[in-house]
C-alpha cells in the first residue's frame, strides 16, 4: 500500500495558493506532484513555489500516470466538467465547493465515481475543524436543552467588479459561493430530512447573479432553520443553536485561521459562559482526511450522500426563491 496520495492541482486560484496548497505541503499522506494552469508560466511559477512539477494544461495533468488524485479550485461553473474528466481518467477528486450547482448533475457525478470506485469529495473544509465536534457534544450533553432554532450567516463585502463570482456563465452568485456554507452547516447539525419552506434571492439584473439571500428551512420535528448570506455585507461568519434552556453561538464558524482559538458562547437567562477551544487547521485536516480515505480504502458512500443531499437543498432554495432586485 502506498504511503501517500500523489496529488495534482487543476488551476491556480487564490484559495489554492493561500490556503490549500500550503496545507497539502504540511499534510500527512499527500505528495504534491504537479500543478496545471491555463497559463504555462503561471504553472511553472506556482510549481517552483511549492516544490512540485508543472503540467502544460489541465488535460496533460490528467494524463500523468504519477497523479492519483486531483484538487479542483476552478470557478464553480467549471467544477462538474473537470471532475467528470478527472474521474474518467481514473483520478480521485477533491473539488472546491460546490461541486455543482444542480442536483441532477450531482447525481450523475456521484454515479460515475461509484462505478469507477473513486472518491469524490467536496472541499467543505470547515466541517473538519474540531470546534464543531465540541459544539455537537455540548448539544448532546443538554447544555442548551431542546433545540428550537438553528441560524447561520455568511456574508462578505463586495468583491472586485471583475471577479468571476459576478459572472453567471462561471457559476457566480452568492448562493453558490457563500450560501452553501450555512446550508451545509444546517445539515451537519440537523441531518438529512431538512425541507425548504421559502427563500429570497436578491439579484443584480445587470450582472445576472444573486448578490444576497435568505432561506427558511425546517425539520420534520419542527426545528426552524434561518440562513442568511451575501456579497454586499460587512463580514460575518457564524451560527447559533437556540434551545429551550440556552443559546449557543460560534463566531468565525466557517473561516477560522489556523492560529485562532475559537470561543463558544452559551447564554441563558441569568448567565453567560464562554469556552475557549484549541486552535485547529481545517485545511490540513480535510487534506489528510481525503488522503486517509483513499489509502485505507474507506467506504465513499457518506461523501456521495452528502453531495446529493446538499445539491437537493441548494436546488430547493433556488426554485422556491422570491426575487428582489439589487
**SS3 letters across 175-223:** HHHHHHHHHHHHHHHHCCCCEEEEEEEEEECCCCEEEEEEEEEECCCCC
Strand partners, 10: 36
Whether residue 275 contacts residue 175, with contact meaning beta carbons closer than 8 Å, is answered with no
Whether residue 171 contacts residue 75, with contact meaning beta carbons closer than 8 Å, is answered with yes
Q: What is the dihedral of CA 79, 85, 87, 88, to 10 degrees?
A: 160
The x, y and z cell numbers of residue 61, run together, are 495533468
Q: Is 97 among the residues known to form the active site?
A: yes
- Catalytic residue selected from 97, 115, 137, 284: 97
Kindly provide the residue ranges of all beta strands, DSSP E only, lying in the chain, ordered along the sequence: 5-10, 30-36, 53-55, 69-72, 92-95, 120-122, 147-155, 195-204, 209-218, 224-230, 236-243, 247-251, 263-267, 272-276, 321-325
Active site residues per annotation: 97
Amino acid at each position: 500500500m502506498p504511503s501517500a496520495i500523489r496529488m495534482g492541482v487543476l488551476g491556480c486560484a487564490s484559495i489554492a495558493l493561500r490556503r490549500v496548497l500550503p496545507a497539502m505541503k504540511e499534510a500527512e499522506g499527500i505528495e504534491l506532484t504537479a500543478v496545471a494552469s491555463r497559463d504555462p508560466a503561471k504553472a511553472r511559477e506556482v510549481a517552483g513555489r511549492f516544490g512540485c512539477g508543472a503540467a502544460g494544461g489541465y488535460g496533460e495533468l490528467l494524463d500523468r500516470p504519477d497523479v492519483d488524485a486531483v484538487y479542483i479550485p476552478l470557478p464553480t461553473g467549471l467544477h462538474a466538467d473537470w471532475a467528470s474528466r478527472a474521474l474518467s481518467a481514473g483520478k480521485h477528486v477533491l473539488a472546491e465547493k460546490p461541486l455543482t450547482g444542480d442536483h441532477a448533475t450531482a447525481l450523475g457525478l456521484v454515479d460515475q465515481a461509484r462505478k469507477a470506485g473513486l472518491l469524490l469529495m467536496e472541499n467543505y473544509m470547515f466541517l473538519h475543524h474540531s470546534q464543531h465536534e465540541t459544539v455537537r457534544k455540548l448539544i448532546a450533553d443538554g447544555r442548551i436543552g431542546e433545540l428550537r432554532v438553528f441560524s447561520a450567516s455568511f456574508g462578505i463585502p463586495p468583491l472586485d467588479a471583475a471577479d468571476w463570482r459576478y459572472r453567471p456563465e462561471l457559476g457566480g452568485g452568492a448562493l453558490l459561493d457563500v450560501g452553501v456554507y450555512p446550508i451545509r452547516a444546517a445539515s451537519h447539525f440537523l441531518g438529512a430530512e431538512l425541507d425548504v419552506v421559502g427563500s429570497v434571492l436578491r439579484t443584480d439584473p445587470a450582472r445576472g447573479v444573486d448578490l444576497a439571500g435568505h432561506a427558511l428551512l425546517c425539520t420534520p420535528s419542527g426545528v426552524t432553520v434561518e440562513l442568511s448570506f451575501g456579497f454586499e455585507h460587512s463580514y460575518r461568519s457564524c451560527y447559533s443553536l437556540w434551545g429551550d434552556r440556552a443559546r449557543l453561538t460560534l463566531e468565525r464558524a466557517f473561516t477560522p485561521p489556523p492560529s485562532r482559538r475559537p470561543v463558544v458562547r452559551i447564554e441563558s437567562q441569568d448567565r453567560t459562559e464562554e469556552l475557549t477551544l484549541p486552535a485547529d487547521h481545517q485545511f490540513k485536516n480535510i487534506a489528510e482526511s481525503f488522503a486517509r480515505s483513499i489509502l485505507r480504502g474507506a467506504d465513499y458512500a457518506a461523501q456521495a450522500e452528502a453531495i446529493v443531499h446538499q445539491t437537493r437543498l441548494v436546488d430547493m432554495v433556488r426554485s422556491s426563491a422570491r426575487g428582489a432586485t439589487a
